[in-house]
Amino acid sequence: MTQVQYCPRHSKTETNIRCGRCETPICPECLVHSPVGMRCPDCARVNIVPTYDVPLPFLLRGIGAGVGVAGILALVYLFTVPAMFRLVFLGIPGLNIVLPILFTAMMVGVGYAVGEAISLATNRKRGLKLKLVGAGSILLVSVVFTYAFPAGAYGLTYLFIGLALATWLAIRPF
Protein backbone atom coordinates (compact mmCIF):
# COMPACT_ATOMS: atom_id res chain seq x y z
CA MET A 1 0.00 0.00 0.00
CA THR A 2 1.31 3.44 -0.90
CA GLN A 3 1.94 6.13 1.63
CA VAL A 4 -0.36 9.17 1.55
CA GLN A 5 1.47 12.32 0.42
CA TYR A 6 0.50 15.90 1.07
CA CYS A 7 1.19 19.03 -0.92
CA PRO A 8 3.94 21.14 0.75
CA ARG A 9 2.04 24.36 -0.04
CA HIS A 10 -1.39 23.10 1.03
CA SER A 11 -0.65 20.81 3.95
CA LYS A 12 -4.18 19.39 4.22
CA THR A 13 -4.47 18.35 0.56
CA GLU A 14 -3.62 14.76 -0.34
CA THR A 15 -1.98 14.22 -3.70
CA ASN A 16 -0.41 11.58 -5.91
CA ILE A 17 0.89 14.09 -8.45
CA ARG A 18 4.59 14.96 -8.57
CA CYS A 19 6.50 17.68 -10.33
CA GLY A 20 8.05 16.40 -13.56
CA ARG A 21 11.34 18.11 -12.79
CA CYS A 22 12.03 18.02 -9.04
CA GLU A 23 9.62 15.22 -8.00
CA THR A 24 8.00 17.38 -5.29
CA PRO A 25 4.39 16.40 -4.51
CA ILE A 26 1.95 18.98 -5.89
CA CYS A 27 -1.81 19.27 -5.58
CA PRO A 28 -4.13 20.24 -8.45
CA GLU A 29 -4.34 23.79 -7.09
CA CYS A 30 -0.61 24.46 -7.40
CA LEU A 31 0.30 22.53 -10.50
CA VAL A 32 1.30 24.47 -13.58
CA HIS A 33 0.82 22.94 -17.00
CA SER A 34 3.93 23.31 -19.14
CA PRO A 35 4.84 21.93 -22.57
CA VAL A 36 6.86 19.15 -20.92
CA GLY A 37 4.31 18.13 -18.28
CA MET A 38 3.11 19.22 -14.88
CA ARG A 39 5.45 21.37 -12.82
CA CYS A 40 5.44 22.86 -9.36
CA PRO A 41 5.26 26.68 -9.18
CA ASP A 42 9.00 26.89 -8.38
CA CYS A 43 10.08 24.89 -11.45
CA ALA A 44 7.51 26.53 -13.75
CA ARG A 45 8.43 30.08 -12.81
CA VAL A 46 8.19 32.14 -15.98
CA ASN A 47 11.07 34.52 -16.59
CA ILE A 48 10.57 37.67 -18.63
CA VAL A 49 12.43 37.61 -21.93
CA PRO A 50 15.21 40.25 -21.72
CA THR A 51 14.02 41.88 -24.94
CA TYR A 52 10.70 42.75 -23.28
CA ASP A 53 12.17 43.76 -19.91
CA VAL A 54 12.47 47.56 -20.08
CA PRO A 55 14.07 49.06 -16.94
CA LEU A 56 13.61 52.74 -16.05
CA PRO A 57 16.88 54.06 -17.59
CA PHE A 58 16.00 52.47 -20.94
CA LEU A 59 12.47 53.84 -20.67
CA LEU A 60 13.79 57.36 -20.05
CA ARG A 61 16.15 57.07 -23.02
CA GLY A 62 13.23 55.97 -25.16
CA ILE A 63 11.12 58.92 -24.01
CA GLY A 64 13.96 61.35 -24.78
CA ALA A 65 14.58 59.87 -28.22
CA GLY A 66 10.89 59.73 -29.09
CA VAL A 67 10.12 63.29 -28.05
CA GLY A 68 13.33 64.61 -29.63
CA VAL A 69 12.82 62.97 -33.02
CA ALA A 70 9.10 63.77 -33.02
CA GLY A 71 9.90 67.43 -32.26
CA ILE A 72 12.48 67.69 -35.04
CA LEU A 73 10.17 66.02 -37.54
CA ALA A 74 7.26 68.23 -36.43
CA LEU A 75 9.38 71.27 -37.35
CA VAL A 76 10.07 69.72 -40.73
CA TYR A 77 6.36 69.05 -41.11
CA LEU A 78 5.54 72.63 -40.16
CA PHE A 79 7.53 73.95 -43.13
CA THR A 80 6.90 71.27 -45.78
CA VAL A 81 3.16 70.61 -45.55
CA PRO A 82 2.04 74.23 -46.20
CA ALA A 83 4.28 74.20 -49.28
CA MET A 84 2.65 70.94 -50.40
CA PHE A 85 -0.81 72.47 -50.03
CA ARG A 86 0.25 75.53 -52.07
CA LEU A 87 1.00 73.19 -54.97
CA VAL A 88 -2.74 72.51 -55.30
CA PHE A 89 -3.30 76.04 -56.62
CA LEU A 90 -0.87 75.54 -59.52
CA GLY A 91 -3.52 73.64 -61.46
CA ILE A 92 -1.38 70.59 -62.27
CA PRO A 93 -3.68 67.73 -63.35
CA GLY A 94 -3.60 64.68 -61.09
CA LEU A 95 -1.97 66.53 -58.20
CA ASN A 96 -5.12 66.19 -56.10
CA ILE A 97 -4.66 62.42 -56.30
CA VAL A 98 -0.93 62.37 -55.57
CA LEU A 99 -0.83 64.81 -52.63
CA PRO A 100 -2.97 62.75 -50.20
CA ILE A 101 -0.85 59.69 -50.96
CA LEU A 102 2.31 61.72 -50.42
CA PHE A 103 0.89 63.17 -47.21
CA THR A 104 0.02 59.69 -45.89
CA ALA A 105 3.44 58.35 -46.86
CA MET A 106 5.02 61.23 -44.98
CA MET A 107 2.95 60.43 -41.87
CA VAL A 108 3.93 56.78 -41.95
CA GLY A 109 7.59 57.66 -42.58
CA VAL A 110 7.74 60.01 -39.64
CA GLY A 111 6.01 57.46 -37.42
CA TYR A 112 8.48 54.81 -38.48
CA ALA A 113 11.40 57.19 -37.81
CA VAL A 114 10.15 57.89 -34.29
CA GLY A 115 9.61 54.17 -33.63
CA GLU A 116 13.07 53.31 -34.94
CA ALA A 117 14.67 56.06 -32.83
CA ILE A 118 12.99 54.67 -29.72
CA SER A 119 14.05 51.16 -30.65
CA LEU A 120 17.69 52.21 -31.18
CA ALA A 121 17.77 54.26 -27.97
CA THR A 122 16.53 51.30 -25.93
CA ASN A 123 18.94 48.78 -27.46
CA ARG A 124 16.22 47.19 -29.63
CA LYS A 125 13.96 46.36 -26.70
CA ARG A 126 10.24 45.84 -27.35
CA GLY A 127 7.02 45.77 -25.44
CA LEU A 128 3.86 47.60 -24.49
CA LYS A 129 5.72 50.26 -22.49
CA LEU A 130 7.71 51.31 -25.55
CA LYS A 131 4.61 51.31 -27.74
CA LEU A 132 3.00 53.68 -25.28
CA VAL A 133 6.17 55.82 -25.20
CA GLY A 134 6.04 56.12 -29.00
CA ALA A 135 2.38 57.04 -29.10
CA GLY A 136 2.71 59.36 -26.09
CA SER A 137 5.73 61.21 -27.42
CA ILE A 138 4.01 61.92 -30.73
CA LEU A 139 0.83 62.99 -28.97
CA LEU A 140 2.78 65.28 -26.62
CA VAL A 141 4.66 66.91 -29.49
CA SER A 142 1.44 67.36 -31.49
CA VAL A 143 -0.28 69.11 -28.58
CA VAL A 144 2.73 71.38 -27.94
CA PHE A 145 3.07 72.31 -31.62
CA THR A 146 -0.66 72.90 -31.99
CA TYR A 147 -0.59 75.47 -29.18
CA ALA A 148 2.81 76.95 -30.07
CA PHE A 149 2.11 77.42 -33.80
CA PRO A 150 -1.65 77.84 -34.23
CA ALA A 151 -1.25 79.00 -37.85
CA GLY A 152 0.29 75.65 -38.82
CA ALA A 153 -2.14 73.56 -36.80
CA TYR A 154 -4.63 72.85 -39.60
CA GLY A 155 -4.12 69.11 -39.67
CA LEU A 156 -1.20 68.78 -37.31
CA THR A 157 -3.31 67.02 -34.70
CA TYR A 158 -4.60 64.52 -37.23
CA LEU A 159 -1.11 64.01 -38.56
CA PHE A 160 0.23 63.12 -35.15
CA ILE A 161 -2.68 60.84 -34.37
CA GLY A 162 -1.75 59.01 -37.56
CA LEU A 163 1.88 59.10 -36.50
CA ALA A 164 1.01 57.57 -33.16
CA LEU A 165 -0.57 54.68 -35.04
CA ALA A 166 2.46 54.42 -37.32
CA THR A 167 4.77 54.38 -34.30
CA TRP A 168 2.67 51.64 -32.74
CA LEU A 169 3.12 49.61 -35.91
CA ALA A 170 6.84 50.40 -36.17
CA ILE A 171 7.68 49.08 -32.72
CA ARG A 172 5.39 46.04 -32.93
CA PRO A 173 7.27 42.80 -33.57
CA PHE A 174 6.27 41.06 -36.78
**DSSP secondary structure of 117-137:** HHHHHTTT--SHHHHHHHHHH
Longest dimension (CA), the chain: 96
For 115-167, the pLDDT digits (tens) are 899 999 999 998 889 988 988 888 888 788 778 777 666 666 566 666 666 66
CA nearest to 114, candidates 152, 141, 148: 141
pTM: 0.67
Q: Is the pLDDT of residue 67 over 90?
A: yes
Burial of 158 from C-beta contacts in 10 A (0-12 / 13-18 / 19+): exposed
The domains of the chain are located at 1-46, 50-171
For the four alpha carbons of 156, 70, 124 and 132, in that order, the dihedral sign comes to: negative
